[in-house]
Structure 1
């Protein structure tokens, strides 16, 4: 094989790898704290709470690698015309009321039928590649039992991929090489962003299925059609169960399975220990071959309007820890229109 051809193949492989960024060789960025904001994976969660839930998140992955992936997102979603099960539309929860306490869950009933809407914007950077997406969502929530609600939703938007090839020093490579021949400036591609999902939740458990990137699309990386990157459907399954250890402490184990054709990409196993509606600690293990890892997480709720959480991730493979470093993720949340004084989520814990 000629040296140029070898370099060509390696370069294409590298671009494809960094383009897949934080999501284990697939299109969607990965988040340690998706369990705290399942909305990023499932549009059916739009409007699940009694307030507008706003989240800002920043993820800095593999700190020892230049141009390593960084992901920033903003999300906001809320209910239309929803009322809490035990209050009026303008009342507040009693002072000292613990939304995580056993008494609350004993009295819990399913929400009345209602609509939810939301919006999400994501920016994902990896080396010379800059990807952003914006989508709006809608969901409908309907009780199917005394304490159980089923929601279905979808989202639609646009995703843009920008590869700034003008910043790459090609040196003395053959100008007829397909990579070099396609490198005059920035490569840009707009693709539709469509997703749909179902979500069922109650006082004891939740489970959801969703598909993102419903419409496949190809982003050409060279001037030859055979070199490119496919936006393929991403399938997610999430489930969790709440165990009340005492009046003030609850344990929330959960799992997330992720599938992208043609293989199972990975599984996340999580546990979250929460004290009242004030603070929590948690851990996570991600099974994904060389990109697997362990995470430690913690968060605190400040009053009924602000919350903050942090996750620290370490690769399970020693070579990844040595050469790539670790990952940090910070998320800040705001609750707008929180007329019931809820300090923490009560339906998507």
Structure 2
């Protein structure tokens, strides 16, 4: 459908402050994407790379490619904790491990996140470095605080625009690319069988406009707030059941609510599901090839009005657990 550039710029100015960050279905497996306080929470270098195609079947729908890596600093290991060196038979997801759990020592964690998000003529490249400090609150409880800081590059590809008037005067005032600072903060409380956290992305107020025309340059970036919590239950020593929830708020969009569940079988594979209120259902599955490599996939079935045009959303993530000292394949402490 042809659109005047002036209409596009006005839409960005009036509505550009709604959902501005990529949406992920598998964030429950990588909360680090949403909360920098998870930097260095595992006892290995946790690397993940993924691709998401949202609303397949709709031309120019959002597509996101990302890579994230984080690790702890230092070489401290305590018996029966996320940073400990277990015995060969010790499984960091087993019921016995959680019953004998002790909090990790106070330590630092660092990492980096890069993503490229494209929707229609708009493309964003974002790069952040992260830092977290993990404090030992008690014998079985840790609290971490984290920060992510970096830059983003936002581009408007005028060549992707189809105009009714090729000489639209707004085109002369178009800002093709702009670079802005980025900042996020987060906290994370965790123990042997539960986690809870909160984070805010895009804290720094920034104008988001693609023209110097005062009529159309009222767009701005707004903070994205996330609150997440989950708990791990054991059906038996080979099967764990993990429900979790997330609430997201991006003013002036309505409050968003996610409910998730994951069931893990032995040390090989898991299945799960997710529901996003008034938006979608999702099915997820993952397979651990070794203590180094795992692969996960999710499919979202759209339930909003877009269901008449979309074939759903696909997301695939490759995980690498580098320098993994655990002897079992299911070495991720919580999930």
Higher RCO structure (Cα 8 Å, ≥6 apart):
2
Alignment of 1:42-57 (within 5 A): 42-57=35-50
Deviation at 1:155, TM superposition (A): 1.0
Matched with 1:114 is 107
Give the CA deviation at 1:175: 3.3
1:114-193 → structure 2 map (5 Å cutoff): 114-172=107-165, 175-176=168-169, 178=170, 180-183=171-174, 187-193=176-182
Report the CA distance between 1:301 and its aligned residue: 1.4
Give the TM-score normalised by the residue count of structure 1.
0.88
| Structure-1 separation of matches of 2:140 and 2:14 | 45
Query: Given the superposition, is the C-alpha separation of residues 297 and 203 from structure 1 closer, same or farther in structure 2, using an over 3 Å criterion?
Result: same
Contact (CA 8 Å) 2:145, 2:187: kept in 1 or not?
Answer: yes
Change (3 A) 1:115 1:92: closer
Question: Could you say which residue in structure 1 is the equivalent of 2:247?
Answer: 257
Matches within 5 A, 1:1-349: 10-12=7-9, 25-86=18-79, 93-172=86-165, 175-176=168-169, 178=170, 180-183=171-174, 187-228=176-217, 229-287=219-277, 289=278, 292-317=279-304, 319-349=305-335
Distance 1:75 1:314 in 2: 26
Q: Distance in 2 between matches of 1:69 and 1:159?
A: 17
- How many equivalent pairs are there? 333
> What SS does the corresponding residue of 1:189 show, helix, strand or coil?
strand
Tell me if the contact between 1:154 and 1:197 (Cα under 8 Å) persists in the aligned partners: yes
Does structure 2 conserve the Cα–Cα contact (< 8 Å) formed by 1:99 and 1:343? no
SS of match in other structure, 1:103: helix
**For the Cα contact (< 8 Å) 1:258–1:264, is it kept in 2?**
no
Change in 2 beyond 3 A, CA 1:273/1:17: farther
Deviation (angstroms), 1:230 = 1.4
Assess, with a 3 A threshold, how the Cα gap between structure 1 residues 198 and 91 changes in structure 2: closer, same or farther.
closer
Give the gaps of 5 or more residues in structure 1: none
User: Hey, what's the Cα distance between the residues in 1 that align with 2:119 and 2:221?
Assistant: 17
Q: Secondary structure at the match of 2:162?
A: coil
Aligned pair in 2 of structure 1 residues 91, 82: CA closer, same or farther (>3 Å)?
A: closer
CA shift for structure 1 position 16? 6.9
Secondary structure class of the residue paired with 1:240: strand
**Residues in 2 aligned to 1:260 and 1:347: alpha-carbon distance in whole angstroms:** 30
**Per the alignment, in what secondary structure is the counterpart of residue 225 of structure 1?**
coil
Which stretch has the larger CA shift, 57-66 or 94-103? Answer: 94-103
Deviates more, 1:205-214 or 1:11-20: 11-20
- Aligned-pair RMSD on alpha carbons? 2.6
- Residue 300 (structure 1) shift: 1.3
Of 165-174 and 55-64, deviating more is: 165-174
**Structure 1 residue 82: deviation in Å?**
4.6
Secondary structure, counterpart of 2:255 in structure 1: strand
Cα distance, 1:170–1:7 mapped onto 2, change above 3 Å: closer
Cα contact 1:205–1:240 (8 A) shared by 2: yes
Question: How far is 1:343 from its partner?
Answer: 2.6
Structure 1 residue 91 displacement after superposition: 9.0
